[in-house]
A and B are shown apart, each in its own frame.
Chain A
Amino acid sequence: MTGDALAIAWRTVSLAALATLVMLPPGIALAWVLARRQFPGRAVLETVISLPLVMPPVATGLMLIWVFGRRGPVGGPLSQLGIDVMFTWRAVVLAGAVMGLPLLVRATRAGFEQVDRRYEEIAGTLGASPRRVFLTISLPLAKRGVLAGALLGFSRALGEFGATIMVAGALPSTRTIAVAIYSYTETGQQAAATTMLAVSASIAFGALLLSNRLAAGS
């Protein structure tokens, strides 16, 4: 049983890590655009990004199925190419990334907003293109916000349940810690559920400790 628990734990952590990597580029880009640019439809964009935070995760999961399921606009073509999203590890990553993205964007955006535009301006006068300014000035100076956002996104992906169980199912091969706890409780396997609970608490504890050290230090 502990072997099982460790396998599930490792799978959950590694898929959450992948979800974090997946959400970073769009998350940073969106945070930058929202922090620095005015444009029509900006409020709409902010709202859409925040939807997974506000909607019940199960509802988000349903929407993901509609898009990425075999009959969906994205899932259909992918399925033709032999790539299935639902009920595979890809669904776990997808659910984690979608649910974590709003948190990543918020924290990163705050990080960018705290970067003094002065530095960006002066970098421009020194000949740096907007892209170079972003990479060498804005992003490094917003580092704390980006890291905090990534950690928040990672934690969210780690504990994600509602959307995950919709898109990835409760299959043994895709089971994350949260889904495992649910399945074990549903089937009366108290001991297994308790083990997973302990594993989950340890990981959460470790992640929070790390997060506090990052916030305090650097």
Chain B
Amino acid sequence: MTVSITLDFSLRQGDFALDIQEQVEARVVALFGPSGSGKTTVLESIAGLRSPERGVIRIGNRTLYDADGGVDVPPHERHIGYVPQDLALFPHMNVTRNILYGANAAHDVGSAAALEQVLSLLELWPLLERGVGDLSGGERQRVAIARALTTSPLLLLLDEPLTALDSGLRARILPYLERIRDELATPIVYVSHDEAEIRAMADWVVELELGRATRSGPWQGDS
């Protein structure tokens, strides 16, 4: 399922200036670029953890941020699932409670069924009783993704989900992500600096460099 994403805003932080004007309709939008180019900042702005200085952020027909209209929806009302690069699994909760954290707040009818689907999709059933400190890198990644999905988000933000994993693990987790894209029909904004991942996942790529988009379009292959 595609979603229309409008990102038209500027944000300044110290010496770094982000200026983006994109209007995209896609299933998976990839943000591609070297570190320091502003990819994470874009994600955090969409999630509501950073406030731009001017502009508009729209997902579908929902306006999350509109400087002129005085709109700045707080993060807990945006219904956006965010898996940060550091995962931020809650250390004082086990796997189950981490995953269910968003489910409690969502109050969706049919969320039980959705939850089961996510747990199966990411093969988390054997891990449910574990503490988050007892997980391998790949397991942690999957738990973090599941946690974000249990809120039945309208959009999923993944910040370099495979970067910290070794190539064998990457090869094993990437199919999960593809499944999420295909079976859950959740639109995704996917940050990576790896072309292979983007080739597998994305149908639209925005290339960022030093806070500006240098290219934006459907995935073109090697260039």
Contacts and interface: CB of A to CB of B under 8 A. Distances in A.
A–B direct contact (CB < 8 Å): yes
Contacts of B196: none
A126 B92 contact: no
Contacts of B106: 127
Interface stretch (A28-36, A93-101, A117-125, A201-209): A117-125
Contacts of B102: 126-127
Nearest to A141: B92
A123 B90 contact: yes
A121 B49 contact: yes
Given A118-B86, A132-B105, A125 B91 contact: no
A129 interface: yes
Interface in A17-68: none
B168 to A, nearest CB: 28
A122 B90 CA distance: 9
A170 interface: no
B78 A128 contact: no
A74 interface: no
A140 B92 CA distance: 8
A125 B101 contact: no
A137 interface: yes
Interface residues of B, number: 25
Contacts of A126: 76, 81, 101-102, 105, 147-148, 151
A133 B106 CA distance: 14
Interface in A101-126: 116, 118-119, 121-126
Interface residues of A, number: 19
B91 A127 contact: no
Interface string A126-168: 1111101100110011000000000000000000000000000
Contacts of B161: none
A107 B92 CA distance: 20
B105 A127 contact: yes
B88 A128 contact: no
> Taking each of B77, B88, B151, which has the highest tally of chain A beta carbons within 10 Å of its own beta carbon?
B88
Contacts of A130: 76
Contact of A124 (B74, B79, B91): B74
Interface in A170-187: none
A141 B81 CA distance: 23
B105 A124 contact: no
B75 interface: yes
B211 interface: no
A121 B45 CA distance: 12
A120 B223 CA distance: 40
Contacts of A132: 105
Given A132-B105, A140-B92, A141-B91, A125 B75 contact: yes
16 contacts: A118-B84, A121-B49, A122-B82, A122-B84, A125-B75, A125-B148, A126-B101, A126-B102, A126-B105, A126-B151, A128-B101, A128-B105, A132-B105, A133-B76, A137-B90, A140-B92
Q: Report, nearest first, the 3 A-B pairs whose CB atoms are least far apart.
A: A127-B105, A126-B102, A124-B75
Interface of A: 116, 118-119, 121-130, 132-133, 136-137, 140-141
Given A126-B102, A126-B147, A140-B92, 4 more contacts: A124-B75, A125-B82, A127-B151, A141-B92
